[in-house]
Amino acid sequence: MIIAIDGPAASGKGTLGKRLAEHFGFAHLDTGLLYRAVARVLMERSIPLTDRDAAAQAAQNLDVSHLEDDSRLRGAAMGEAASVVSAYQPVRDALLAFQRQFGAQEPGAVLDGRDIGTVVCPDAEVKLFITAAPEERARRRHRELLSRGEQAEYETILLDIRRRDERDMSRSTAPLKPAADAMTLDTTHLDADGTFRAALDLVERKRPAKVGR
């Protein structure tokens, strides 16, 4: 069984994906980390993010082990860089097979990203589109950065989020949008626990009987 979770930056889909995976005993993949890792390779080699060929090569040779534990992939700057390289079709093509193979695990997998329900796993049994108002998403990201001791300005974060939304939704390659059969959950007025409970209710309506715990 596959649970596909899509949505814009800081909507809460990553935290939700982890909790749903733990609840059902499924594997979890934050696909955004793949694109952050590609961007990191370019940045560490002082290669411009606009170099599509280098980005594609980095994606083809990407080491996908220990993504969750790599602190270098965190932070707003890396998220912005990932948004740039993720718009390149060759990069997405290079990472597609790995994502689909991950989703094929038994008893199931939860994948979150921007195009899981539309491109990566179009046949997923459950598709969720998690969203929230840009201002609330900026507040969440601001609190997260401050909690890690990083300097952050709310207005700058809000501007970055709006810019990423525009880039992700308007790109020609796998634009950010809900799948036709996705269930949309607006988390603007929900905390992490409320989001989990609401999402779990939606998943339970769709999932086959006796799957997961």
The annotated binding site is made up of: 7-15
Residue 61's closest CA among 112, 114, 98? 98
Beta-carbon contacts of residue 19 (< 8 Å; ≥ 6 apart): 192, 196
Angle, CA 103 vertex, CA 182 and CA 44 arms, to 5°: 100
Residue 76's closest CA among 128, 129, 143? 143
- Tell me the C-alpha distance between 54 and 184, whole Å: 36
The dihedrals phi and psi of 4, each to the nearest 5 degrees, come to: -100, 125
- Tell me the C-alpha distance between 34 and 63, whole Å: 9
The annotated binding site for ATP is made up of: 7-15
CB 161 within 8 A of CB 9: yes
